[in-house]
């Protein structure tokens, strides 16, 4: 009887213990970034109101046992919004983290293959978000989008012609002959930002007083980039930029990241911006009277002035030239979406900008396709691609030493002169200048056409993953290819082209540029996490860049009749400018992070270039920095 009692007691105890054990619920899931679909590792998972918690692993997986359901879990991670999820069943959950609006721009570039929180960086880095780039009034060109947005960045206009022509200088860099433009990198692709002369110097003689390329009304090729495609821009102004990117970054670095798709429902976006451009404040007519005209220009001019004044035919030629209201329209359509494995972003933008001078304008159509694909848990692939076609009519402006450009000849053109064409369309010569500005505006043609492809690809491979360390291989490649055609026609009917006026009897200038840049890099990034919150991140890799630009410029003078072909001319001249450059090197960097309180970084870049006297000699660019976050120390509490 006693044995039966003991057996029954043990059975009851066993059933009670089993019931208690069965009451434990195991909650499992994964933490990912809602915007990118990528894993968010090391997320804190706490059962609300208790000390029961865990942390997701490197792959974003977590597992937490709770006594009973329903319960509330709190998910938190630096840089993302904290989430409280009410859990009623133990089904696997995918927690999608949303970046905190207060910390959207806090991750900045710290190396060729890594980034770091802004608070942990000791480099001088400025950031610009998509809303700040375009805002309520989208700019037609990227260089224009940077105007007035960055402290320490000087943006000045090479020309007011539509289609670009802005110079961007960082850190006050200046040089008589060297390039002072920053290095532009878009989605890992090295971008060419050359200003290629159209050959107008054969007429303007601008080279006699300085650089022909700077005074030849050129546009910058960064103007080909569509501002509507940009997610954010980072500018590295400090000396550490060169330590990361080598000698090409001596004038600073502009790092551009384009928009990417987000996992979830497909989103369509359409926008239309319309406006106009006009001169805010013209100089206006001088306050002429008979005595002033007689003293300055003589009796004959005074008679002409009085006649025009009485007939009301005084002309403000500045307003006649620059008084147009140019319409501007920017139309954009984009589509983005995808799944957790494949995400996409595609868009098309059309710009149409009329200038403030009749006959000038700028049209551009750009296409973009960005793809991100994760075929397996340890491989991530990315593609960034764009195509742009643009055509700009830029007129005949800027400095010259022949007095023939519109702006220069206007300075001596008086309002009582009759410069409009007669009934037969014949323009009179301007007795007060080397050219008739109305004739120059209406008959000179100066067009540049661009077709440009930019393609970049990345591959991230997780080679090794453990509880306290991981090793990742990062491969990148990019291609920037464009063809630029410039066509400038100065017909022989122009005042300054007539041989009797010392002209060349008609000029046709044709330029063709082919540019192909490519860059390749491979990096290993190792992370090691210790038990006392001391983390190490090591990166090492090699880079290679190739630059090939070929410009051919044909100048023809003495045109036959109304022909504009360069082979239908009395004289022709050919110039060719060829740039071939190959760079290669390595980059290593070590980062040590102690609880986000003290972050120390040391790195070294080694470069060699075919532009150097010894193409095989390595030049070194070291870097070292220490960041101390006082707000992370306990004494502030």
pLDDT of 411-457, one tens digit each?
889 999 999 999 999 999 999 889 999 999 999 999 999 999 999 99
| Highest mean pLDDT pick, 1-5, 52-56, 340-344 | 340-344
Average pLDDT over residues 276-285: 87
Rounded to whole angstroms, the Cα distance separating 110 from 249 reads 14
Residue range 99-156, pLDDT digits in tens: 765 444 456 676 777 777 666 676 667 776 766 666 555 666 666 666 666 666 676 6
Cβ density class 491-523: b for 16+ within 10 Å, e for less: bbebbbbeeeeebbbbbbbbbebebbbbbebbb
Average pLDDT over residues 189-216: 76
| Highest mean pLDDT pick, 108-122, 205-219, 248-262 | 248-262
Domain 2-97 matches domain 107-278+324-396+444-636 at the CATH topology level: no
Please provide residue 292's backbone torsions phi and psi, each rounded to the nearest 5 degrees: -65, -40
Rounded to whole angstroms, the Cα distance separating 104 from 123 reads 18
Average pLDDT over residues 177-195: 83
pLDDT of residue 443: 95
Average pLDDT over residues 369-390: 94
The residue ranges of DSSP E strands in 187-263, in sequence order, are 189-191, 230-236, 253-258
The percentage of the chain sitting over the pLDDT mark of 70, rounded to a whole number, equals 83
Q: Is the pLDDT of residue 231 over 90?
A: no
Average pLDDT over residues 5-18: 50
107-278+324-396+444-636: which CATH number, 2.40.170, 3.30.70, 1.10.150, 3.30.930?
A: 2.40.170
Give the list of residues 6+ apart from residue 157 with CB closer than 8 angstroms, or none. Answer: 165, 166, 167
Q: How confident is the model at residue 409 (pLDDT cuts 50, 70, 90)?
A: very high
The percentage of the chain sitting over the pLDDT mark of 90, rounded to a whole number, equals 41
Q: Is the pLDDT of residue 214 over 80?
A: no
Q: Is the pLDDT of residue 21 over 60?
A: no
pLDDT of residue 289: 87
The answer to whether the beta carbons of residues 484 and 510 sit under 8 Å apart is no
pLDDT of residue 176: 47
pLDDT of residue 208: 53
Residue range 582-593, pLDDT digits in tens: 999 999 999 998
Domain ranges of the chain: 2-97, 107-278+324-396+444-636
pLDDT of residue 102: 47
Enumerate the H helices of 88-163 as residue ranges: 130-134, 142-145
Number of H helices, E strands in the chain: 10, 28
Q: Whole-model pTM?
A: 0.79
Q: What is the mean pLDDT of the chain?
A: 84
pLDDT of residue 209: 44
Which DSSP string do the residues of 436-485 spell out, in sequence order? -HHHHHHH-EEEEEEEEEEEEEEEEEEEEE-SSEEEEEEEEEEEEEEEEE
pLDDT of residue 8: 52
Rounded to whole angstroms, the Cα distance separating 441 from 356 reads 12
pLDDT of residue 17: 47
Q: What is the 3-state composition of the chain as percent helix, strand, coil, each rounded to the nearest 5?
A: 15, 45, 35
Q: Does domain 2-97 match CATH 2.60.40.1120?
A: yes
Least confident of 35-49, 141-155, 256-270, 289-303: 141-155
**Lookup: tokens for 564:** 């504009």
Average pLDDT over residues 287-307: 89
pLDDT of residue 119: 64
pLDDT of residue 194: 87
pLDDT of residue 134: 63
Q: Is the pLDDT of residue 3 over 60?
A: no
Give the list of residues 6+ apart from residue 498 with CB closer than 8 angstroms, or none. Answer: 492, 505
Least confident of 314-323, 474-483, 617-626, 628-637: 628-637
Q: Is the pLDDT of residue 18 over 90?
A: no
Q: Is the pLDDT of residue 172 over 80?
A: no
Average pLDDT over residues 310-321: 91
pLDDT of residue 146: 67
The answer to whether the beta carbons of residues 479 and 516 sit under 8 Å apart is yes
């Amino acid at each position: 009887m006693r044995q039966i009692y003991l057996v029954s007691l043990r059975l009851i105890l066993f059933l009670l213990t089993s019931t208690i054990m069965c009451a434990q619920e195991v909650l499992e899931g994964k933490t990912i970034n809602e915007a990118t679909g990528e894993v968010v590792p090391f997320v804190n998972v706490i059962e609300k109101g208790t000390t029961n918690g865990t942390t997701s692993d490197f792959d974003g997986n977590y597992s937490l046992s709770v006594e009973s359901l329903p319960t509330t879990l709190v998910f938190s991670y630096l840089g993302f919004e904290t989430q409280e999820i009410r859990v009623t069943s133990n089904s696997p959950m995918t927690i999608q983290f949303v970046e905190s609006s207060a910390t959207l721009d806090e991750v900045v570039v710290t190396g060729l293959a890594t980034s770091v929180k802004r608070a942990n960086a000791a480099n001088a880095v400025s950031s610009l978000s998509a809303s700040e780039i375009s805002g309520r009034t989208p700019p037609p060109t990227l260089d224009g989008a940077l105007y007035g947005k960055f402290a320490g960045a000087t943006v000045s206009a090479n020309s007011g012609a539509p289609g670009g022509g802005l110079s961007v200088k960082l850190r006050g860099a200046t040089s008589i002959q060297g390039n002072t433009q920053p290095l532009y990198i878009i989605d890992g692709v090295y971008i060419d930002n050359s200003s290629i002369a159209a050959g107008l110097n054969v007429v303007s003689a601008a080279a006699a007083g300085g650089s022909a390329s700077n005074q030849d009304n050129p546009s910058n090729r960064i103007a080909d980039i569509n501002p509507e495609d940009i997610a954010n821009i980072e500018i590295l102004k400090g000396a550490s930029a060169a330590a990361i990117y080598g000698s090409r970054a001596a004038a600073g670095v502009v790092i551009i990241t384009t928009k990417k798709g987000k996992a979830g429902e497909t989103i369509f976006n359409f926008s239309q911006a319309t406006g106009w451009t006009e001169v805010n404040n013209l100089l206006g007519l001088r306050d002429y009277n008979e005595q002033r005209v007689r003293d300055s220009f003589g009796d004959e001019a005074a008679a002409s002035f009085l006649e025009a004044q009485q007939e009301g035919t005084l002309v403000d030629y500045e307003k006649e030239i620059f008084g147009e209201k140019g319409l501007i329209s920017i139309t954009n359509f984009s589509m983005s979406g995808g799944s957790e494995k494949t995400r996409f972003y595609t868009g098309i933008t059309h710009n149409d900008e009329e200038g403030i001078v009749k006959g000038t304008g700028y049209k551009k159509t750009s296409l973009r396709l960005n793809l991100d694909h994760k075929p397996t848990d340890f491989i991530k692939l990315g593609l960034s691609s764009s195509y742009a076609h643009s055509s700009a009519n830029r007129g005949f402006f800027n400095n010259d030493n022949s007095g023939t450009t519109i702006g220069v000849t206007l300075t001596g053109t008086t309002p009582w002169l009759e410069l409009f064409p007669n009934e037969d369309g014949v323009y009179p010569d301007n007795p007060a200048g080397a050219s008739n500005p109305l004739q120059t505006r209406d008959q000179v043609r100066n067009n540049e056409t661009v077709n440009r492809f930019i393609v970049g690809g990345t591959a991230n491979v997780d080679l090794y993953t453990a509880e306290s360390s991981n090793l990742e291989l990062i491969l990148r490649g990019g291609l920037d290819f464009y063809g630029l055609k410039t066509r400038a026609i100065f017909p022989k009917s122009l005042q300054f082209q007539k041989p009797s006026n010392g002209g060349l009897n008609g000029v046709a200038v044709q330029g063709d540029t082919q540019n192909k840049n490519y860059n390749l890099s491979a990096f290993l990034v190792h992370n090691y996490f210790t038990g006392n919150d001391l983390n190490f991140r090591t990166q090492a890799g090699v880079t290679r860049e190739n630059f090939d630009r070929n410009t051919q410029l044909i100048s023809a003078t003495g045109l036959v009749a109304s022909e504009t072909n360069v082979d239908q001319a009395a004289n022709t001249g050919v110039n060719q400018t060829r740039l071939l450059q190959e760079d290669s090197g390595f980059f290593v960097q070590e980062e040590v992070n102690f609880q986000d309180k003290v972050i120390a970084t040391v790195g070294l870049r080694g470069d060699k270039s075919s532009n150097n006297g010894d193409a095989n000699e390595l030049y070194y660019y070291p870097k070292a920095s220490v960041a101390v976050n006082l707000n992370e120390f306990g004494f502030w509490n």
